[in-house]
Amino acid sequence: MSSVPVTTWFLEQTSPADLLPAAAPEGDVRIVRAEVPSPEFNRFLYTAVGGDIRWTDRLDWSYARWRDLVERPGVETWVAYDRGTPAGYIELEAQDDGAVEILYFGLLPAFRGRGIGGHLLARGTARAWDFAERRPGLAPTKRVWVHTCDKDGEFAMANYQRRGFKLYDTRVELEPDVPNPGPWPGAHSA
């Protein structure tokens, strides 16, 4: 299998004051925490959002591995709904050192370009900053960080920067050149 260079950018906020708001999108868009851990739902979100932008690192995960992720006490999934339909999600993980990582963030293709992404990222980042208020025993958040790469959506980096994230590291590594899987085997995104 051939390899391709992939550039990964690491961004962070070190204070809640770093978070810049986003305008709420038009229409009936709600952001709700998925309070019942559901491996099936998180896998659906991962494949539906990442299928056309080459998210492949979790495709071979077993049910047990998905369950282990969503049942960890420091993991939360926040979902944007447009008129009751899942439009995108942000997955947060609190870490021992007071950091919260945005593990995954994105929108399903049909919901991109409508202002939902900025709104979801701003609301999800705010939830990262107040994570310890919902989870007694966790250290207060001192830092929120994320990494994005050139395999992600074309507007991902700009969205993070518009929300106040600052670049602190860049890496280029060779990765296997995996074909775009689409949202499910045999599907072809438009």
- Pairing mode, strands 85-94 and 166-176: unpaired
32-41, 119-128, 180-189: range with lowest mean pLDDT: 180-189
User: Is 54 within 8 Å of 48 (Cβ atoms)?
Assistant: no
Burial 84-121 (b: 16+ CB within 10 A, else e): eebbbbbbbbbeeeebbbbbbbbbbbebbebbbbbbbb
pLDDT at 90 over 60: yes
Which is higher by pLDDT, 10 or 178?
10
The SS3 assignment for 171 reads strand
Q: Over pLDDT 90: what percentage of the chain?
A: 78
The neighbour count for residue 134, using CB atoms within 10 Å, is: 11
Tell me the domain boundaries of the chain: 3-176
Lowest mean pLDDT among 1-5, 62-66, 127-131: 1-5
Distance of CA 121 to the CA centre of its chain: 8
**Residue 1 confidence class, pLDDT cut points 50, 70, 90:** confident
Statement: 3-176 belongs to CATH 3.90.1280.10: no
First to last CA, the chain: 25
